[in-house]
Structure 1
């Protein structure tokens, strides 16, 4: 699927790409409505009916990903609530092995995520993966989400990105469209971002189902990997 000789830099999304999107979907679609209902003395159905249009209004904007914004909007301690269910944070199939193989190949590996820095920190504390990356970049560092061309302009300057020799993997078609518009040459979608849901429509983008498909057979030996750190 990938000609690795044509790739210098691998840009990787976090939620839904490296990590199972089930944590985030459950948190925003079920756990937050539950806690919001408890706080306001309403039913879960009433809570969802109130929250869903408010969420939809911010979708694709930096505020949608901003924990500080939602803490003020909902009067909930979002970071504390995320910690209450942090046991649901997990890698997608063979994502950690894929990161290990990229390090062995000597590629520049950069995480680019729309996640708020506090959310990123929570997941880095839960799973041992920071050492696989040359850089960890939150869209909040630039002030623009990945859906915006301004994000890519900042990224190119920041890491001296060669768009022609970069591979970007993300579970969002909207974000992939933005990367394609900017000129990122190699793009891959994710077929199953959420382990509890079916395949996503990747709208013509080539998609990876299991990162094992991107790892050379000789690099699959499990004994090369240290035990995964989960705290």
Structure 2
């Protein structure tokens, strides 16, 4: 698949797993929260994981999934405070800063578009200092819909003036790429190396990359090849 950067005005980028290593989030929700929940409720860690994993699954593909206030109330834990305990695990994927610099130097409109809650965004932007690279940042909580909903991408245009035919979306979620595809976003890229702790597996549906440096063309070639 060839991409001619002259055909792209806007780049939409997901955060967790796409720009940032998802190891932080996986460790936090699958290990750290159960550990604190088990201690608070006086139950064994395996039992805490069984209880919490079921609750997490019940809210997949909804805004509650990433709503820190929702989980604080439901679990009886201060979730934002617990995130601070493991914030040292927050990390930017290799090649991300170089890619963001390329986009800004190329005059593209670059938007961070994420399902993440505002409190998570604040923590991660403070930790990574990526904020200044973006034209703007939009949370799905502002839109009122998660990216898993087809209608999300239309409502996003109320905040981001983009032309789907001249837009590239980078995501580590095939589901979200699918809803964007149905809306008509033309250039779709799957980030297969979403976590430093897993072996990357390319998508069978979308062009895939491991690192964003793969999308930076050589100076003498404005077109690039995305591995299928």
- TM beyond 0.5: yes
Tell me which residue corresponds to 2:80. Answer: 79
- The alignment partner of 1:111 has SS state of strand
Say if 2:66 is the partner of 1:51: no
Say if 2:134 is the partner of 1:133: yes
- Rounded to whole Å, the distance in 1 between the matches of 2:219 and 2:211 is 17
5+ residue gaps, structure 2, are: 221-228
Offset, 1:161: 1.4
- The alignment partner of 1:152 has SS state of helix
- Rounded to whole Å, the distance in 2 between the matches of 1:87 and 1:176 is 29
CA-based RMSD: 1.3
- Rounded to whole Å, the distance in 2 between the matches of 1:34 and 1:201 is 32
4+ runs deviating over 4 angstroms: none
Decide which structure has greater helix share. 1
Offset, 1:107: 0.1
Offset, 1:35: 0.6
- Rounded to whole Å, the distance in 2 between the matches of 1:96 and 1:80 is 28
5+ residue gaps, structure 1, are: 220-231
Say if 2:100 is the partner of 1:99: yes
Offset, 1:133: 0.6
Offset, 1:109: 0.2
Tell me which residue corresponds to 1:210. Answer: 211
Tell me which residue corresponds to 2:37. Answer: 36
Say if 2:11 is the partner of 1:6: no
After superposition, the C-alpha distances for 1:139-160 in whole angstroms (9 at most, x for unaligned) are 0001110111232111123222
After superposition, the C-alpha distances for 1:56-107 in whole angstroms (9 at most, x for unaligned) are 0100111101111100110110000111111111111111111111111010
Offset, 1:191: 1.0
- Rounded to whole Å, the distance in 2 between the matches of 1:21 and 1:60 is 17
Structure 1 segment 127-166 matched on structure 2, within 5 A: 127-166=128-167
- The alignment partner of 1:149 has SS state of coil
TM-score (norm. length: structure 2): 0.93
Tell me which residue corresponds to 1:64. Answer: 65
Question: CA distance change for structure 1 residues 201 and 45 in 2, over 3 Å: closer, same or farther?
Answer: farther
- Rounded to whole Å, the distance in 2 between the matches of 1:178 and 1:91 is 26
- The alignment partner of 1:159 has SS state of coil
Mapped contact 2:148–2:179 kept (Cα < 8 A): yes
TM-score (norm. length: structure 1): 0.92
